[in-house]
Structure 1
Amino acid sequence: YNDEQKKVTKYAKDSEPLHIKKADLIEIPTVFNLSMYTHRVELFVILLDSRLEFFERNIRFYHTDLQPNIGLFWYFFTEMFEHFRTLFLYTFQMNATVLYLFPLTIKLHKKPLLLATILTALITIFRSYPCIGDVALYMALFPLWKSSAKFMANNFIVFCFLLITSALGPMVWYLWIYCNSANANFYFGTTLAFASAQIFLVTDLLFASNKREFCLREGLSVITKIALE
């Protein structure tokens, strides 16, 4: 027995010690840690689903509701063939957002408030589901440009268009939906005229701002400018 013990002791002294690096160790998570990670993942998925549902209900990039409104989308997508739907969907959305963004930003980079007013108006006109509150939002910003009002040339025409279409819209809606004595073309014609009046208003404001800037830069008075026209 003593001989065997001496051999084991000698072998232990002669052999090299085993070095184990910390990186080689694999930490095995406990059941508590696994459950905690699982709850975090579930919470993240729930928040993501709710966020996507919020965007789907409010932004509505995909035009699914064809209920008539004061916009222009509903009529086009009602009359459109299904295989052209995606093409015109992206075209309309680009027209409402990206198409005017870059050129107007380059032109009005020194006038951020005017740029914000015009972009808000254009997005309201060409968005999928506009309402009267959206129109009132950007029109509330127009008094900021009172100094450019004297350079606007279509005030009377735009005012008449907005007044007539605002009164005619509810009447045509009532005749179409409740009395069945009109059709969608009458109501769409009214909304198209309403949108055209807003476009005239926005472009008139933009040109009026440019005319005022030109007169201030060249030193021309308003009376001289009107006489030249």
Structure 2
Amino acid sequence: MALELAFAVAARAVLVLSPLGSHIQDDNQLSSQLTSYSRLQEGIYLFRHGIDPYSGGSFRHSPLALSLFSTVIPTSRIHPTLLWTFCDAVGAWALVNIWRSRSNTQKSGRDMRIAAFYLINPYIFLPCLALSTSTLETTLQLLTLLFASRGQSSLSLLTLAIVAHLSLPAILLLPPILLLLLSDPQSHLASPRSFPFQQKFRKCNLLFLEFGFFFVVLVFASALVTGGWGWVRNTWGAGFLLPDLTPNPGLWWYFFTEMFDHFRPFFLMVFSLHLTIYVVPLCIKFQHDPLYATFLLLGVLGTFKPYPTLSDPGLFLSLISLFPEIYPYLRYPIVTALLHLHAFLLLPLFHHLWIGTGTGNANFFYASTLVFGLANGGALLDCVWAGLRVAIGEENDRWVVTQE
């Protein structure tokens, strides 16, 4: 497997180093206002010249990224390209090892297929090619799942705190990650059982406090780097206030472009709270398989977060390879796949008609994002249904065997 994976990563690096990357670096579908490498370079330039990059309204990256790229990582074209390629390779490695933890094996025939499915996924590959920092967030999320699957609580909570610091909606993954750390990553979809909350309550509180400690340390480190708290409004506040309505593949930007200012605060509150309502029901319903609950919450974030890129649903779709037991119970996999193919072709086409040639308008591109949202929502609902249906199917199979 190592040889095939090395070849795939090398071929990927050649494409990343090609001139194509510079042409799509500022594509709104691949890089959002919070993940654009061009905006990161602008903030680094201001920071190095003694100007607070958060004093304006365009720089929205985390102070962690600002300090890392302004001191440790050179900003020439070659170094970030190699870093992004390396991060994707680490993500593929982490995904394979999550599967090994779930299947309780050291090596399996699915390893190469899982890695290949991740590396050739265009939703994962194209943001990497565009140097979107969403690629770094995706890798950290996979490492969080890997450490949690192995029971390495401190490493898992630390990486989750870093991801949440880079992209605040990721903090919603904390409850299922805590459940995963208190149980095991193996599949229990076919045999649901109650989670022993009372027995694990004390340890859960300790893990929560540990995460809080990591998160608070990162917050104060960021304030120390920037010399104040102005970064909070420009980074985390952007997800609540939506100050930048540059088009993206999400469902927020057009709605608030057309929104009257009088109603804007109310609907910002509704849209923000909407993300949180899925956490408790999914964690309760899939308490017997917290890895699957985390997978579903990643699908929710990929569909409904305020500033998404293709990386967000790409991670959700890549994780489907970890759950082969749900495949027989998916109701409309062909329809969902065709919807994604349709959206994948419509998004760049309608964006070009609107921005490139001027023969379209904002409704063209938003229509394609609605198709994209429908594809993501269809995949998410299908996976919820299949995850619930596994147990019923297994019971029916056992009943048929006993009758025979």
Whether TM exceeds 0.5 here: the answer is yes
Cα pair 2:303 2:373 within 8 Å, conserved:
yes
Question: Cα 1:44–1:121, aligned 2, differ >3 Å: closer, same or farther?
Answer: closer
Counterparts of 1:116 and 1:44 in 2: how far apart (Å)?
28
Aligned match of 1:181:
359
Residues 50, 77 of structure 1: CA spacing in aligned structure 2 closer, same or farther, 3 A cutoff? farther
Aligned to 2:252: 73
Which residue in the other structure is 2:302 paired with? 124
Distance 1:45 1:146 in 2: 41
Q: Comparing 86-95 with 208-217, which one deviates more in the overlay?
A: 208-217
Unaligned runs of 5+ in 2: 1-219
Q: 2:372 aligns with which of 179, 191, 194?
A: 194
Q: 1:114 to 1:67 in 2, by over 3 A?
A: same
The structure that has the greater radius of gyration is: 1
Distance in 2 between the 1:106 and 1:45 partners? 34
Q: Distance in 1 between matches of 2:319 and 2:248?
A: 23
Residue 91 of structure 1 corresponds to which residue in structure 2? Answer: 270
Q: Percent identity over the alignment?
A: 30
Q: TM-score, normalised by structure 2?
A: 0.42
The within-5 A match list for 1:53-68 is 53-59=230-236, 60=238, 61-68=240-247
Between stretches 213-222 and 189-198, larger displacement belongs to: 213-222
Q: For 1:189 and 1:45, locate their aligned partners in 2 and report how far apart those are by CA, in whole Å.
A: 39
Q: How far apart are residue 102 of structure 1 and its match? A: 1.3
* Runs (4+) off by over 6 Å: none
Alpha-carbon spacing, 1:75–1:46, altered in 2? closer, same or farther (3 Å): closer
What does 1:1-229 align with in structure 2 at a 5 Å threshold?
47=224, 52-59=229-236, 60=238, 61-96=240-275, 98-220=276-398
2:226 and 2:350 mapped to 1: Cα distance?
41
Give the distance between the partners of 1:209 and 1:44, measured in 2 at CA. Answer: 41
How many residues align structurally? 179
CA distance in 1, matches of 2:315, 2:253: 22
| Contact in 2 for aligned 1:161/1:194 (Cα 8 Å) | yes
Q: Is the alpha carbon distance of 1:44 and 1:55 closer, same or farther for their aligned partners in structure 2, counting shifts above 3 Å?
A: closer
Shift of 1:45: 11
- Alpha-carbon distance in 2 for matches of 1:89, 1:137: 26
Two-structure CA RMSD over aligned residues (Å): 2.3
For structure 1, list consecutive stretches of 5 or more residues without a partner in the other structure.
1-42, 223-229
Deviation of 1:51 after TM superposition, in Å, equals: 7.0
Q: Which amino acid aligns with 1:65?
A: D
Q: Is the contact made by 2:343 and 2:371 (CA closer than 8 Å) also made in structure 1?
A: yes
Give the distance between the partners of 1:181 and 1:120, measured in 2 at CA: 36
Q: TM-score, normalised by structure 1?
A: 0.72
Q: In the alignment, is the contact (CA less than 8 A) between 1:215 and 1:221 conserved in 2? A: no
User: Are residues 115 and 84 of structure 1, via their aligned partners in 2, closer, same or farther at CA, if it must alter by over 3 Å?
Assistant: same
